[in-house]
Amino acid sequence: YDHPRALSRPRPKVPPPPPPQPGSINLTLRKKPLSKAEVAENSELSSTTDDNTSLLEHQELTPLLSSSTNEENEEHEANSPLPEDPFPLGLNTDVNDGSEDNKGISIGGDPLSFEDPQEETSLSASNEPVTAPVEEKECALRASSSSIEEIPMTPISLSSAFNPSEFRTLYLPKEGNKPLDPTAINAVQRTLLDTESDVLAYHLTKLDMDLLSITLNREYGLPGIKSGLHLLTLVEGKQLREDLMERCLSLKYFILTTILTATSKEQSVALMAKWISIASELSNNLVGFFNVVNALSNVKLRGITSIWRKLNENYPEDSSCLEHELKSKLKILNEGKFEEIESSESSFIVIPHIIPFLSGCKDLRGLKTFRNLFNEIFKFSKGVPIPEPFPLFNSHIAYAQECSSEKSLDRFRENGLKYINDIEIQDEILLYDLFHTNFHLKLLWGSNGAVNQSCVERISKFEKVISVLANLCSK
């Protein structure tokens, strides 16, 4: 996933073309790009284009589909690599070579054409348009089954869904709080232990549904985009992708904190059993399911053998459920075998498993903070890499495209409404606050840290905190 719907970029300044020479010609873009045989007919033109691509490909395809840019962050190269990128030129992209059988490019299997059937553009031998310059504008290329439609767009600046500075809850004091406020953590632990698992899973799912606009048609300022699942697959969805990843990481550290800060080993084990039970209730929310099971599979938590031994003694059913059911299900999902899960589930899917798809997004995989999470996705509990990374990535890309289709969005919306209407659970503000990302940010990093630090800074610092808490808990 590099540029499935890229915005046009300003063309670099080039020197003016040389004066016309005797015998020079003007070229007209026809229904298909010039082939190499046609270009070779004129020696002067051949000397100006010494590669194998057509003029149309030089001016249009390169800025849309090229995955290598001059604005790469140097931090990307410094970090350890993920499994090799299976789509270096975009999503299943085949570039036109000017042959008779290949008249354009293919994105996601649909043949696309960039020429305008109504107008013809005249080009000189220097690849510069002869016609008057067109006013620059931002546009998006939206693919349909038969053609590409150019849609003028105004610049979109989507704000984050999280605003911890304005968030208020009874768990935290109004005047502000320090990181890991002990009073708030004790209240959270009591609430978790005193509330039924299905009720907790319901409120967690409702917040995930709201973030991704599963049941609501939200106006994002983009033509035809009303669902977060669709926006995640577009270039303009960068902020939503970052919000979703921040929610995943914050919830992961929230779960670990509730377990590692318990007042006794028995309370830690009871909280672990509660989170296992919550994960079992999240069969229709695969994003929430991934977040909970991923936290319970954390390496630092797995290293505290005394807690796991106690869990097996006091809660044998929950321990067996985690090892033989929940982790196996997560492994199947991460391997892209979605049909096995969806066909075997007695319930219906409300939120699909879209987190692995984000690992192919350049704006996320270049950040070390998110790369650590992606490494946890593609390496299971014992650190063994999942085989055949290329089919794995491609299956998640295809699944994300399927989930963003209109038919799938309608199905998720219907399932979400049915889930809300059929379940007999009363909404409780404190339980919503318990799973709200704004609350996690303020609880874990304090009122100041939640606002004045970036996500990358927060996560890198809190990894050290988790290590200290795990060492204290093991003693």
In this prediction, residue 102 carries a pLDDT of: 40
Alpha carbon of 399 to those of 40, 338, 340, 403, 458: distances in Å? 43, 8, 14, 6, 31
The CATH number of the domain covering residues in 164-474: 1.10.840.10
In this prediction, residue 379 carries a pLDDT of: 58
Tokens 């940010």, located at residue = 441
Buried b (16+ CB within 10 A) or exposed e, 301-320: beebeebbebbeeebeebbe
End-to-end CA distance of the chain: 45
Strand-pairing partners, residue 129, are: 123
Q: Which residues contact 81 (CB under 8 A, 6 or more apart)?
A: none
The SS3 assignment for 304 reads: coil
DSSP code at position 21: P
Q: Where are the domains of the chain?
A: 27-152, 164-474
Helices 238-260 and 182-194: crossing angle in degrees, nearest 10, is 90
In this prediction, residue 345 carries a pLDDT of: 60
Cβ-based burial of 407 (10 A; exposed 0-12, middle 13-18, buried ≥19): exposed
Q: Which residues contact 338 (CB under 8 A, 6 or more apart)?
A: 352, 353, 399
Tens digit of each residue's pLDDT (9 = 90 or more) over 347-399:
589 999 998 888 778 777 666 666 666 666 665 434 434 444 556 778 888 89
Other beta carbons within 10 angstroms of residue 96's beta carbon come to 20
Positions of the chain with pLDDT lower than 70, given as ranges: 1-157, 342-347, 365-391
DSSP code at position 61: I
CA distance 219 to 230: 12
Strand-pairing partners, residue 351, are: 285
CA distance 247 to 62: 35
In this prediction, residue 392 carries a pLDDT of: 74
Strand-pairing partners, residue 112, are: 105
Cβ-based burial of 108 (10 A; exposed 0-12, middle 13-18, buried ≥19): middle
The one-letter code for the residue type at 248 is C
